[in-house]
Amino acid sequence: MATLRDIKKRIRAVQNTQKITRAMKMVAAAKLRKVQTRMLELRPYAEKMRAVISDLARGADREMHPLLAVRPRKVVEVIVMTGDRGLCGAFNANILKASQGYINNLKKQDFNVSTSTIGKKATDYFRRRGVPMRRSWTGFSGMITYSAVQEIANDIKENYINETIDEVTLIYNEFKSVIAQRISIVRLLPLTPIVGIDSIREGKEEGTFTESVGTDFIYEPSMKDIFDRLLPKNVDIQVYRALLESSAAEEAARMNTMENATKNCDEMVDKLTLQFNKARQTGITKELMDIVGGVEALK
């Protein structure tokens, strides 16, 4: 049976842990506010850019720009985005589980899968399982800059243009609210609409571009100049947006996890305090019985 001293030590340990979880929650909340502001400002811009380029590309010649090319799906690049750190609940585990399922589904269809990772958790996950990774990037948690994102985007564009890969898919957690995230599987190249994880699990495949339906555009200065400027920029923006979404979702998950941990510490302290009081009361009762017994013996 635990002594009073042991129970006191456990109470102090839990209280110290509670101070840490409360501080981590506050830090995550501060980081969330910053990245959420950036993400919400970029989201409409990224969505509108993708929609405009999709409309323009419908009536364009596929040979006009290498990023417009639609080739047979021989090598599919899957880029998995996670965090660099844990203590964020099931945030990393959910994205890794969905990524593994998506990759396994591609392999069942006899596609050659090329895997790249963004985030230490994804890198460690695939490395432990002996999965070859074409590229891996870490150090983005809380430090996402556009210049750093361009390094990733340039690598994607270069390998797509050189026909090293024929399709690029991003898998990340999309921020929905402070208490909710959604796993998104986005086909980055060739350009297609976004598809959610539910559609993938149901086996719904995205098609390529359809023919333009009677829409004529006037291009100034020229169609080629517009695509030369906008298509590479679109890849940069979509990768940037995905990283900001993932970062916001990670900080929200960490904040909620630390809040739950703090509440659990409260409950544990209450239980230990009750246990301490019961043990102390038992000790007092025993001492009183010894005193009464001694008095009776003296009579």
Query: Catalytic amino acids?
Result: 88
Find out whether 59 and 84 touch, Cβ atoms under 8 Å: no
CA distances from 137 to 123, 144, 168, 267, 290 (A): 8, 12, 16, 40, 70
Find out whether 197 and 98 touch, Cβ atoms under 8 Å: yes
In the structure encoding, which two tokens stand for residue 83, read together?
Answer: 């965090």
Please, what is the Cα angle at 193 between 190 and 199, to 5 degrees?
110
CA distances from 249 to 147, 235, 287 (A): 22, 21, 57
Find out whether 35 and 189 touch, Cβ atoms under 8 Å: no
